[in-house]
Amino acid sequence: MRTGAENLYRATSNARVRATVALELSYVNSSLQLLKEELEELNCSVDTELPEREGTTVPMIPLGLKETKELDWSTALKELISGHFGEDGASYETEIRELADLRQAVRTPSRSESGLELLTAYYNQLCLLDARFVTPARSLGLLFQWYDSLTGVPAQQRALAFEKGSVLFNIGALHTQIGARQDRSCPAGTSQAAESFQRAAGAFSLLREKFSRAPSPDMSPASLSMLEQLMAAQAQECVFEGLSLPAPAAPHDFMAQLRLAQEAAQVAAQYELVHQTMTRPPVCNYVPFPWTALVHVKAKHFRALAHYHAAVALCDSPPAEAELLALEQVFLGPLPPSEPRGPVLLQEREERRKLGKAHLKRAILGQEEALRLHAAGRALRRLDLLQAVLGQALRCSLTRYSELDLEDDFFEAAEAPDIQPKTYRRLELRAPSFSRVKVADIFHRLGPLSVFSAKNHWRLVGPVHVTRGEGGFGFTLRGDSPVLIAAVIPGGHAAAAGLQEGDYIVSVNGQPCKWWKHAEVVAQLKGVGDEGVSLQVVTLLPSAEPPSTGDRRPALRGLLRNQKDCSWGTSVPARASPKPLLGWSRKAKRDKSGGGLSAAAPP
């Protein structure tokens, strides 16, 4: 069904037909996501390590992963390796197959830390591919196709940046699924869920900052901002749940209840902001309706919980003199020092009872409104669980209200004031830590990235035979991987053989040495006898000249490059200009390898 809809979506130019097909694709995508979640739950139901849920918690919103089709890397990479790097592309079949297998595996990652590591490893490999094979003027020539996570509509681009952005999106989405599956009836579960949602928000924030010209709605700045807000609100909800778990002592402590009231108000305020974002265009055109409905219900539910906990604080335990100021701030907020402070609120127990009753009334009205909104949004998933939570909260408020409602109480309480939102644990976004997953460059055999990348052009020279003279070979070396000829002594044997300053040594006596350290090359040269040594070198060319081989080379003293290290342990030159889609910045540091060690001196 989806394949036929895709073909029609691409073939037609009629706007009405495209809108209808996009709607059908959205329905198909939602059904597929629900089916995958149900299958995952069935698989996890027999997992003995998964803890049993003891409490009833409000369901969270997990984000479905972006899907993609299989991709044939072979032709494009072989042509690039043969044409630009001057090597036999067919000899890299193993590396290309390893890359294809890795991409195939990330299409269905497990909902666990190992799944996150798999996605991160592939993302790091894409960064290495970007550094080695992609230039601002030329892409890999591959068409990357991914399905929109929210609508199911396919989107495609030839930029490797789209592949990187889609994988980063899935890292954030997988964090949401891990967070939604946590058992939040225990402190460890709420803490783990909050951390997962923080990491999801960090991934979407990073993607929003680095990605532009999104080809699909789910990766547009507006959608990513909405997802960031949603995950931050869900993380804050987990903080509230952790605080509201039954404590071993003093569950109705005055200050504890005030903190819960303000935390609940903070969660409600964040969900209200998310709901406003979801109902504004363009996000409202493609965000799933059950999400909007659930966020609206949660905003009402937590606003009612804030009034409930404020009422409990007022009625259950009389506050001490020092706690009355905290009670004022819950209702009035912190007053500026210059503003005169009136009399302390609620000195008498009867005043506290009446105000508590007013807060319970607002709590009941809010919970009834939440139940009404829940009943109107039957498309919500796990409705019975949500209804149970809302019904339980309403029953608690009604019970409290009946305890405070005296028979001879004819006093009509004034409207209860709003609860000032405040959190005692401000959560921060946590960007993905790509460096924690170490990967080896799949195309390591091509050589260090500082030289052997599509951004550079070079000429392969040699083998060049150099004999030892009285003063040695007549050149000095510097740097590692590859080792650089830093200087050539005029009139020496190296100069006579045609070696020049700036050449990189890639072979010594037929042994490839692109990855050799400085000390290894020096040791090999010191072991050479009077017969001399056979060297093969490459000379970097201006970008206008194509790669070539030969013996005659211009003097290129101005092309000496500073070798820099990136986080994967290989060298990458600084970018000449930002990428049009993903401008990923890499921190680099200068190579501090021992320089100036001479291979000219005899052993």
Whether the per-residue pLDDT at 305 is higher than 90: the answer is yes
Cis peptide before 482 (omega within 30 of 0): yes
Q: Rg of the chain over CA atoms, in angstroms?
A: 33
HSE of 23, CA atoms in CB hemisphere, 13 A: 7
Nearest to 471 by CA among 571, 585, 600, 589: 600
Token pair of 258 as six digits? 């005030």
Cα distances from 242 to residues 17, 60, 190, in angstroms, run: 49, 15, 6
Identify the band that residue 141 occupies on the pLDDT scale cut at 50, 70 and 90: confident
Has residue 249 got a pLDDT over 60?
A: no
Residue 33 is which amino acid? Q
Q: What pLDDT does residue 557 have?
A: 31
Element containing residue 593 per DSSP (H, E):
none
The angle at the Cα of 162, spanning 65 to 275, to the nearest 5 degrees, equals 50
| 3-state secondary structure at position 229 | helix
DSSP 79-118: HHHHHTS-S-GGGGHHHHHHHHHHHHHHTS--SSHHHHHH
pLDDT at site 424? 84
**Single-letter amino acid, residue 511:** Q
Q: What pLDDT is stored for residue 463 in this prediction?
A: 87
HSE of 134 in the Cβ direction (CA atoms, 13 Å)? 25
CA distances to 322, 455, 540, 556, 558 from 544, rounded to whole Å, are: 77, 11, 11, 14, 15
Distance between CA atoms of residues 386 and 446, nearest Å: 56
Q: What share of the chain is helix, strand, coil (3-state, %, to 5)?
A: 50, 10, 40
448 within 8 A of 570, measured Cβ to Cβ: yes
CA torsion sign, 357 to 358 to 362 to 365? positive
Q: d(Cα 414, Cα 267) in Å, to the nearest integer?
A: 25
Percent of the chain with pLDDT over 90: 38
* Model pLDDT, residue 588: 38
Q: Which residues contact 223 (CB under 8 A, 6 or more apart)?
A: 150, 217, 283, 286, 287
- 420 Cβ contact partners less than 8 Å away, ≥ 6 residues apart: 262, 265, 329, 330, 331, 332, 333
Does 432 score more than 70 pLDDT? yes
Mean pLDDT on 109-124: 94
The answer on pLDDT for 17 being more than 70 is no
Distances from the Cα of 301 to the Cα of 141, 165, 228, 237, 295, angstroms: 51, 35, 21, 11, 10
Residues 388, 392, 395, 397, CA torsion sign: negative
- Determine the pLDDT at residue 307: 93
The 3-state DSSP class for residue 380 equals coil
Q: Is the peptide bond before 417 cis (omega within 30 degrees of 0)?
A: no
Cα 598 to Cα 587: distance, rounded to the nearest angstrom: 31
Neighbours of 230 (CB within 10 A): 28
pLDDT digits (tens, 9 = 90+) for 500-514: 888 899 899 888 888
154-157/457-466 β-pairing: unpaired
**Looking at the predicted structure, is the pLDDT value of residue 402 above 80?**
yes
In the predicted model, is pLDDT for residue 61 greater than 70? Answer: yes
Check residue 73 and give its pLDDT: 94
97 CB-near residues (< 8 Å, 6+ apart) = none
Q: Which residue has the higher pLDDT, 577 or 386?
A: 386
Mean pLDDT of 344-351: 62
Q: What is the distance between the alpha carbons of residues 452 and 460, in angstroms, rounded to a whole number?
A: 12
* Phi, psi (degrees; rounded to nearest 5) at 565: -105, 140
SS3 assignment, position 13: coil
Question: What does the pLDDT average to over 513-532?
Answer: 87
Structure tokens at 218: 């789910």
- For tokens 């783990």, name the residue: 192
Calculate mean pLDDT across residues 306-329.
71
pLDDT of residue 475: 87
Q: Which residues contact 577 (CB under 8 A, 6 or more apart)?
A: 136
Q: Which of 129-138, 272-281, 516-525, 587-596 has the highest mean pLDDT?
A: 272-281
pLDDT of residue 491: 83
> If we measure between CA atoms, which residue out of 569, 568, 562 comes closest to residue 591?
562
Q: pLDDT value at position 57? A: 76
CA atoms of 143 and 402, how far apart (whole Å): 66
In whole angstroms, give the CA distance from residue 307 to residue 302: 9
What is the mean pLDDT of the segment spanning 112-134? 94
> Residue 51: is its pLDDT beyond 70?
no
8-22, 188-202, 221-235, range with the lowest pLDDT: 8-22
d(CA 569, CA 325): 57
d(CA 177, CA 196): 9
Burial readout 430-455 (b: 16 or more C-beta within 10 A, e: otherwise): bebebeebebebbbebbbbbbbbbbb
CA 521 to chain centre: 41
Distance CA 119, CA 98 (A): 15
Q: Which of 349, 351, 357 has the alpha carbon at shortest distance from 318? A: 349
